[in-house]
Structure 1
Amino acid sequence: MSALALRRATEADIPFIMATERKPGYRKTVGQFEDAEHRAHLGNPDWLYLLHEGMGLALLCGLGNRDGNLCLRRFMVTEPSIGHGSALLPQVLDHVFVQTSTHRLWLHHVEGNEAAARLYAKFGFQHEGVDRQAGVRADGTRFNLINLSILRPEWAARRA
C-alpha cells in the first residue's frame, strides 16, 4: 500500500466511514457515530480522520491537547483478518508522529478483543492499565477498556 493512499477524510467520505463502522462485530468493539456526529468531527480542528478507501480508517481526537496526547478513538478495517490492519496502522503512526506534534498516542480497546490487542502490541503500543466497567453498551451491559499507548521516542526507535 502506498503512503499516498492514506489521506484526510472529507464529508464526502461519510458514507464509507459509516458503512465501515457498521461492519459485523464493530458495534460491540469499536462503536459508531451518526452522520451528524461525523460532520461535526470533520469540522472540528481537534479531530483528524485518516482513511484508505480500500482498507479502512482511523479517527483521532485531541490534536489541540497541550501535553501532546492524541487519542486513536477508532481504528477500523474494511475486511478484518486479511492484513489490512497491519498495513494501515504503521501509516497512521507515521502520519501522527511526522505530521503532528503528538508525543503520546493512546487508545482504549474493549477487553477480550484479542485481535486488536495483538495488532497494537505488534506495532509497539504498551499496556497501561484497565478502566474497569468504563464502557456501556446500548443494552446497558458494562465492559472494561484496556489502555494502551505509544510514545514518540518508541515509534522513532522502531522506525529506525
Structure 2
Amino acid sequence: MPALGLRRATEADIPFIMETERLPGYELTVGRFEEDEHSNHLADPAWLYLVHPEMGLALLHGVGGREGNLCLRRFIVTKTSNGFGSALLPLVLSHVFNETSTHRLWLHHVKDNTKAARLYARFGFLHEGVEREAGLRPDGSRFDLVNLSILRPEWASRCG
C-alpha cells in the first residue's frame, strides 16, 4: 500500500483530479467541478488541494479562516474497497493538523453513504447532525447530508 506521496496539487494535477472525480458512482456522492473551477480554487489561498497520485485526493476549503474551521469538501479514492481510504485519510488528517492552524475539520456526506460514514467514524469524526434535503443532484433530486467533524484535540489524543 503506497503511503508516501501526499502533496499539494498544482495546475498539472487538474486532469488527474477531474478524472478521479468522474469515476463511476462519485457523481451521486461527491460531485465534480469543471476545469476552470479547479484552476480558480488552486489560485485561491482559502482552498487546499491534496493529491496522492495512486490513492486519490482531498479538496479542502476555508484555510486560514479566523474561526479555524476547515471543510473537507471532497475526499475521493482512485479505487474503492481496497483500503485506499483507510490509508489516505490519516495522511490528510496529519497534513491538516500539522501544517495548518485548523481547529475543527468538518465535512458532509450523503446520508446513505454508509461506507463513508464508517470510514470517517473509524478515524474519529463525530456526528453533528443531518441537513435534510440540503443536497441537490444534477437530475433535480434532493438528498440529506450528514455533518461530521473532528477537533484538533480529538485528533491529537488519537495520535498520542
Question: 5+ unaligned residues in a row in structure 1: which ranges?
Answer: none
Amino acid at match of 1:22: R
2:49 is matched with 49
CA distance in 2, matches of 1:136, 1:106: 20
Displaced runs of 4+ in structure 1, greater than 3 A?
none
2:88 is matched with 88
Where 2:23 maps in the other structure, the secondary structure is coil
TM-aligned CA deviation for residue 65 of structure 1: 1.3
Alignment of 1:99-138 (within 5 A): 99-138=99-138
TM-aligned CA deviation for residue 64 of structure 1: 2.5
Percent sequence identity is: 70
The answer to whether residue 16 in structure 2 is matched with residue 2 in structure 1 is: no
CA distance in 2, matches of 1:78, 1:108: 20
CA distance in 2, matches of 1:2, 1:126: 25
1:149 is matched with 149
C-alpha contact (below 8 Å) 2:64/2:101 kept by paired residues: no
Amino acid at match of 2:3: S
Deviations 1:1-57 (A, max 9, x none): 334x10000000000000000000000100000000000000000000001000000
Where 1:154 maps in the other structure, the secondary structure is helix
1:21 is matched with 21
CA distance in 2, matches of 1:156, 1:27: 33
Query: Once superposed, what is the RMSD of the aligned Cα atoms?
Result: 0.6
CA distance in 1, matches of 2:64, 2:55: 27
TM-score by length of 1: 0.98
Deviations 1:85-121 (A, max 9, x none): 0000000000000000000000000010001000000
TM-aligned CA deviation for residue 141 of structure 1: 0.6
Where 2:140 maps in the other structure, the secondary structure is coil
Deviations 1:60-96 (A, max 9, x none): 0000311000000000000011000000000000000
Amino acid at match of 2:143: F
Amino acid at match of 1:62: G
